[in-house]
Amino acid sequence: MCYNRRINGGCLLMKRNEQKIENTWKTEDIFKDEAAFLACLDTCKELGNELCAYDGKLDDASNLLSFLKGYEKLTCLLDDCLGYSSLLSDQDTADAHHQELKGKANALAVEVFTKLSFSDVQIMQIENLESFYASEPILERYRVYLEEVCRLKEHVLSQAEEKLMASSSLMQDTPYSIFGMLNNADLKFEDAIDSKGNKHALTTGTFIHMLEQEDEVLRESAYRNFYAGYGSMIHTLAACLNGQTNQLKFNSTARKYASSLECAVDANNVSPRVYEQLIETVHKNIHVLHKYMRVRKEVMKKEKLHMYDLYVPMVNECNVPVSFEQAKEDVLHSIQLYGTEYAKVYERGLNSRWIDVYENEGKRSGAYSSGQRVHPFVLMNFADSLDTEFTLAHEMGHAMHSYMSTKYQAPLDRHYKIFVAEVASTCNEALLMDYLRKQNSDPKFQAYLINHFMEQFRTTLFRQCMFAEFEKIINEKTANNEVLTSDTLNQIYADLNKFYYGEDVIVDDEISMEWARIPHFYMNFYVYQYATGFSAAMALSQKLLHGTQADIEAYLSFLKGGCTKSPVELLRMAGVDMASPKPIEDAIELFDSLIDEFESIMK
């Protein structure tokens, strides 16, 4: 394969129609063709209109049951439409027709759910829901869904107000939409220059790859030019983020929450205490990250580390290409401990076009798993590297979580909460790490893998926690009616970097603008879940690798659980208690031991 994201080479990406069919996902598994998709959209619209007839009639058990049956069918069909059109859009974002299909599906979803916004309000007004289960026993199928609706009762508005809130959803996406257009389309960067004077095209997609290169001149040039680009629009980007925090403030106030944080985490039935506890625990153990920075500085033979030094692999001798076929073999071997059912489905997913493997012109960057009803789909931009092998393990972990939840739960209960979403994916990365380490005992190879693992701790536990703390601070300022200017945001971000990275790292003017490029800050207290999910995954992976068959069965029950319990309860059932700081403490202790092992090998 040839990728224009590589520093050396200059090969152009293939076009979408040049991809081998076996390396693309099989969207026909959802709809055989576009005509079937459009017909389903029409069905969804008709069904939505039919369900509007239940407005004002949900205080009757029979009517409620009929409505929920129709609503369940509608959500299933809409999931199919949204998923199908999104996959087509992402495989080539330059395809205007597929963008149009996605727009139609999204617009219909907003239209339908706005019309049906009466349902939650009227369900909450049912005085004795338990009696409904007695008179219509089939309603038990919907108990979890109904309990989740009623859980939010004190934060739901009148029927007219809820309809107004629902219709404002597209408008409330405006700050993120503006950020996306600036970040993905309008923002341009000066080329980076390497030590030989060669120019390299700098984009949001090539930036981190350039920071991973041994050529320090190239790294620094990429770093300076990248943030110079953001600096040219820093006031506009500050206004976008200020708009986002005010949007969340509006919603939290309207829904009678004590804070924006409480409003955001309550959507996943998580206490704000879990969020605060993460930050507190990381603060108490920040010396371990400082220790890692000291070791990195010594291995790289630097007096001080710059921010553009943090992504360079400290061990390069083992950085060999990994083919997709080899990666499939490795990840499949790594998950055998889950048992026959899991392994057979996993293998089918690897070989039955669940995965869109390679990059092409216009394809969405990064990677994700989309948990469709028929089976999950995985977007990859596989680059014949160890990093993308771990990405494959990660996304297939998501995919199998979705598969198991969909198989074992009712349609309205199959979607697990975001709080637990990163657990299965990261757990499978840990299993792959263990498998690879057992295949080769060469000290340099071990150091190479440990380097990769330590970077996961830095970027997923500590860095995401720093992001979470930044979000908490800026939303508190918005709550106090303070305007988030670029100077204010830069200062907050610089101070956090100084605390997290310690005295061995130079915090310069450029890194103070990093907040401006992070899309997750438009997702309302989302990033902390990477850190908590990573911590839970580290604890559970150790149980899976070193525990009993009962530990494995408990974990599989968690994967099958969907949203039938709160996220904290589901994880407790799997064997880890995220209401306690212990999983975070244990993860940091593991990080500390990896630093010691790495330092010992490198001496």
Q: Give the pLDDT of residue 7.
A: 37
The beta strands (E) that lie in 323-367 are given as 355-356
- pLDDT band at residue 433 using 50, 70 and 90 as cut-offs: very high
Q: What is the pLDDT of residues 272-313, one digit of tens each?
A: 999 999 999 999 999 999 999 999 999 999 999 999 999 999
Contact indicator for 493, 515 with CB cutoff of 8 Å? yes
Does the pLDDT at position 595 exceed 60?
Answer: yes
- pLDDT band at residue 205 using 50, 70 and 90 as cut-offs: confident
| This prediction's pTM | 0.89
Contact indicator for 557, 575 with CB cutoff of 8 Å? no
Query: What mean pLDDT comes out for the span 310-322?
Result: 86
Q: What is the pLDDT of residues 488-504, one digit of tens each?
A: 999 999 999 999 999 99
Q: State in words which class domain 31-170 has.
A: mainly alpha
Concerning whether 395 is annotated as a catalytic residue, the answer is yes
Tokens 């330590």: give the residue: 454
- pLDDT band at residue 364 using 50, 70 and 90 as cut-offs: confident
Percent of the chain scoring above 70 in pLDDT: 98
> Quick one: DSSP state of residue 205?
T
Tokens 């990477």: give the residue: 530
Q: What is the pLDDT of residues 523-559, one digit of tens each?
A: 999 999 999 999 999 999 999 999 999 999 999 999 9
Q: How many CB atoms lie within 10 A of CB 439?
A: 10
Q: Give the pLDDT of residue 430.
A: 96
- pLDDT band at residue 573 using 50, 70 and 90 as cut-offs: very high
Half-sphere exposure of residue 515, counting CA atoms within 13 Å on the CB side? 35
Residue 204 token pair: 């949001």
Contact indicator for 261, 275 with CB cutoff of 8 Å? yes
DSSP 401-431: HHHHHHHHS-GGG----HHHHHHHHHHHHHH
Q: Give the pLDDT of residue 9.
A: 38
Q: Give the pLDDT of residue 159.
A: 85
Q: Which CATH superfamily is domain 258-321+418-603 in?
A: Oligoendopeptidase f, C-terminal domain (1.10.1370.20)
Mean pLDDT for the chain? 94
Between CA 13 and CA 313 the distance in angstroms is: 26
Helices (H), 52-95: 61-91
Q: Give the pLDDT of residue 144.
A: 96
Contacts of 584 by beta carbon, 8 Å cutoff, 6+ apart: 277, 278, 281, 282, 461, 531, 532, 535
Residues of the chain with CATH 1.10.1370.20: 258-321+418-603
First to last CA, the chain: 37
Query: What mean pLDDT comes out for the span 130-155?
Result: 96
Does the pLDDT at position 155 exceed 60?
Answer: yes
Residues of the chain with CATH 1.20.140.70: 31-170
* Catalytic pick among 395, 422, 471, 514: 395
Instruction: Fill in the amino acid letter for 327.
Output: A
Q: Give the pLDDT of residue 599.
A: 96
Contact indicator for 211, 459 with CB cutoff of 8 Å? no
Contact indicator for 46, 109 with CB cutoff of 8 Å? no
Which run of H or E residues covers position 97? helix 96-115
Q: Give the pLDDT of residue 30.
A: 98
Rounded to 5 degrees, φ, ψ at 193 are -115, 130
- Give the per-residue SS3 of 257-302: CCCHHHHHHHCCCCCHHHHHHHHHHHHHCHHHHHHHHHHHHHHCCC
Contact indicator for 385, 321 with CB cutoff of 8 Å? yes
Q: Give the pLDDT of residue 4.
A: 39
Which run of H or E residues covers position 305? strand 305-306
Does the pLDDT at position 93 exceed 50?
Answer: yes
Q: What is the pLDDT of residues 218-272, one digit of tens each?
A: 999 999 999 999 999 999 999 999 999 999 999 999 999 999 999 999 999 999 9
Q: Give the pLDDT of residue 317.
A: 67
Give the residue among 176, 52, 186, 183 at the shortest CA–CA distance from 119: 52
Q: Give the pLDDT of residue 5.
A: 38
Between helices 234-254 and 486-501, what is the axis angle to 10°?
90
Tokens 């981190």: give the residue: 208
Tokens 């997923």: give the residue: 460
